[in-house]
Chain A
Amino acid sequence: MSLNVKEFKKNAYRITKDRGVTALRVRVPGGHLEAKYLTILQEIAETYGDGNLHITTRQGFEITGIPMTMVEEVNKKVAPLIEGMEAGIGVDIGNPEDGYPAAGTRNVSACIGNKVCRYAKYNTTKLAQRIEKNIFPNDYHVKIAVSGCQNDCIKAHMQDFGVLGMDLPVYDAYRCISCGACVKNCQKRATGALEFKNYKVVRDEDKCIGCGECIAKCPTNAWTRDASKKYYKLLIMGRTGKRNPRLAMPFLEWVTEDAIIDIINKTYDYVDEYIDRSLPKEHVGYIVDRTGFQVFKDYVLDGVELNPECRVAEHIDWPGYKTNVSNNFKKVGK
């Protein structure tokens, strides 16, 4: 059998351990889809695949057990889904009957967000779709996930870009009845940014992480969120992998959505400029390791308009561990 493997993979098909058998990765931007698409997935799985669906960690589906000879037909079957979930949100996918145009930039995943969750600060599906529209199709390896709040249920901390919703609390002293709910809760569950002075609450702006718990707890709405704009925390360059698994670290706090989109777009130019083309692929986090954070920062912030509330990391020391340093281990032996 003759196959252009690189092109084949770009089409979102996998080279599996069984020769001649593939699996299709279906993107679900924001992890949210109309239930009607499940019928299409079912039909493809039962007609062409082995009757199973795998739910991927990035909130897509993988249809397993498809003979490579069936790929053209499968692409036609999956077209309405690509049209609805990609073209439908403004992604330029070319002819939907040709299947997915790229696979490098992974599905943008999202927690359930404020469609449902009381903690979430924004509609995570919408933001995921907006990001998808900006970055897909693209062959560079970038992983992005968005969480509604800093509980980070989607594990945005494991991504190249992780977006978390923030609240900027606004206090109306007149409405405060000194019940203590916000102060106690911030102390116990957040950062201890609140204290009473003369029976009213004072917020330490440097300590406050914008989790919005005070707003949620207040029985009089003395705390509300600044609704003039949405605020986010942008985490960067977390990853798993063989060399240096690590959590993403905060790059910007109280930043706006538009700035995040600009920065993500600029990151693709940055990758284009600095990627090591001698490798089959290079993950953006490793490029930042090579150039250093300052080069990355200057590149992606160049010309980006940041709001006055935004706080920018001066430097970042990623935690995590190096897998090639293993002298901590002692073999059990016999």
Chain B
Amino acid sequence: MSYRVKRSEFDDILSKLQEDYKIYAPTRKKDKGTFSDTDLVLYDRVSSLEEIDFNSKTKYSPKEVVFPITQTLFYFNGDEYIEAEDKGEKVLVFLRPCEVNAFKRLDKIFLENGPQEDIYYKRLREKVKFVVMECTEGFDSCFCVSMGTNETEDYSIFIKVSDEEVFCEIKDEKLTEVFADQESTDYTPEFIQENKQQVEVPALEDITTDLFDSEIWKEYSKRCIGCGRCNTVCPTCSCWTMQDISYQDNENIGERRRVWAGCHIDGYTEMAGGHDFRTTYGDRMRFKTLHKIYDFRKRFDIDMCVGCGRCEDVCPQYISFVGAIKKLNQAIKEEKNNG
């Protein structure tokens, strides 16, 4: 069922929704960007239409909603422990199609990777509903069409905003009530069909261990500075590390947290005794690239990367992920010609 809502009336709908849901959406924090007098666009709680930035790509993805940057798992006191409380609030997230597809990747890692579901993820994830924002233009660095993540059917509401009106398709019956007074219309969601960037991801069988030592990675040892921005902005990077925090005077009392980690950042592969097996940035670039477009697909049949282009947007060294995939394709071609 689709509705047409006057912009001026949309805030009423949001307030009604807020009786049951916390609402997250792309929002602009004035002057909070890395550089002075620049804004930071990220996902945060909103309560009105005006606060939602429909026209910018957020720097960080919405993954924080289900995978917080710092998350306390439990508190310990000697042999006892208390699990951190689950606030149990339901959530509506305004997001783009590629980002819904990114949640699917997170689900694979946290819920389907191994025998145990990750309960800390699950209890947040279960409460999330999607409001997909129509995205037919994309941005310069997007390549979702190449990754097959430009479309999604998984949403409660699909929304398109124009100067005067908001068009909404409601799939979730529990939410239709809120729209009951609105004029119905025949709005059908549209998806982007062509990005400015395209790339063909290599076939699984074409990626062989010979590529491990390919010259293409060496370039990144010189270019990458290991800052980790590509990991932190990525909607599908799901690595974390554990941190046990204890009282200074009594280390048996404290809490365990999990915190995001990233494979480009120093320390990621460091083991007890100090051995570190991916010290060069080229090795890290190879690992990330293959995780995004090879390992994950081998395990789950879909690529991890959803082509949002954020890693390219933030890289201070102008390293493009599409560029890396293209280099890999070239290396495969050369490997085939030589072999």
In the complex, what residues of A have CB within 8 A of residue B262's CB? 177, 179, 219
* B29-37, B95-103, B135-143, B146-154 - the one binding chain A: B29-37
Interface residues on B, range: 20 to 34
A227 close to B69 (CB less than 8 A): no
Could you tell me the distance between the alpha carbons of A221 and B31 in the complex, rounded to whole angstroms?
12
- CB < 8 Å neighbour of A221 from B36, B37, B40: B40
B332 interface hit (Cβ, 8 Å): no
Could you tell me the distance between the alpha carbons of A121 and B34 in the complex, rounded to whole angstroms?
11
A199 close to B69 (CB less than 8 A): no
Could you tell me the distance between the alpha carbons of A174 and B67 in the complex, rounded to whole angstroms?
12
With A177-B69, A181-B227, A219-B232 as given contacts, are A199 and B34 in contact (CB-CB < 8 Å)? no
- For window 258-292 of chain B, which residues contact chain A by CB distance below 8 Å? 259-262, 265-267
A219 close to B68 (CB less than 8 A): no
Could you tell me the distance between the alpha carbons of A114 and B228 in the complex, rounded to whole angstroms?
25
B69 close to A175 (CB less than 8 A): yes
Could you tell me the distance between the alpha carbons of A173 and B72 in the complex, rounded to whole angstroms?
13
Q: Which residue of A lies closest to B71 (CB)?
A: A174
Q: Which residue of B lies closest to A165 (CB)?
A: B36
In the complex, what residues of A have CB within 8 A of residue B68's CB? 174
A121 close to B36 (CB less than 8 A): yes
In the complex, what residues of B have CB within 8 A of residue A118's CB? 35
B193 interface hit (Cβ, 8 Å): no
A176 interface hit (Cβ, 8 Å): yes
B229 interface hit (Cβ, 8 Å): yes
With A199-B243, A199-B259 as given contacts, are A177 and B232 in contact (CB-CB < 8 Å)? yes
A224 interface hit (Cβ, 8 Å): yes
B70 close to A114 (CB less than 8 A): no
Could you tell me the distance between the alpha carbons of A224 and B33 in the complex, rounded to whole angstroms?
7
In the complex, what residues of B have CB within 8 A of residue A167's CB? 36
Number of A-B contacts (CB under 8 A): 77
Could you tell me the distance between the alpha carbons of A241 and B49 in the complex, rounded to whole angstroms?
61
- For window 144-160 of chain A, which residues contact chain B by CB distance below 8 Å? none
Q: Which residue of B lies closest to A222 (CB)?
A: B69
B37 close to A122 (CB less than 8 A): yes
B227 close to A221 (CB less than 8 A): no
Could you tell me the distance between the alpha carbons of A165 and B37 in the complex, rounded to whole angstroms?
13
Q: List 14 A-B contacts (CB under 8 A).
A: A167-B36, A175-B69, A179-B228, A179-B265, A180-B266, A181-B227, A199-B243, A215-B34, A219-B229, A219-B262, A219-B265, A221-B42, A224-B40, A225-B32
Q: Taking beta carbons and an 8 Å cutoff, which residues of B are in contact with A?
A: 30-37, 40, 42, 59-60, 68-70, 227-229, 231-232, 243, 245, 257, 259-262, 265-267
Known: A174-B69, A180-B266, A221-B42. 20 other contacts (CB 8 A): A118-B35, A122-B37, A123-B37, A165-B36, A177-B228, A177-B232, A177-B259, A178-B259, A179-B265, A179-B266, A199-B257, A215-B34, A216-B35, A218-B34, A219-B227, A219-B228, A220-B69, A220-B260, A221-B32, A225-B36
Q: Taking beta carbons and an 8 Å cutoff, which residues of A are in contact with B?
A: 114, 118, 120-123, 165, 167, 173-181, 198-199, 212, 215-221, 224-225, 227
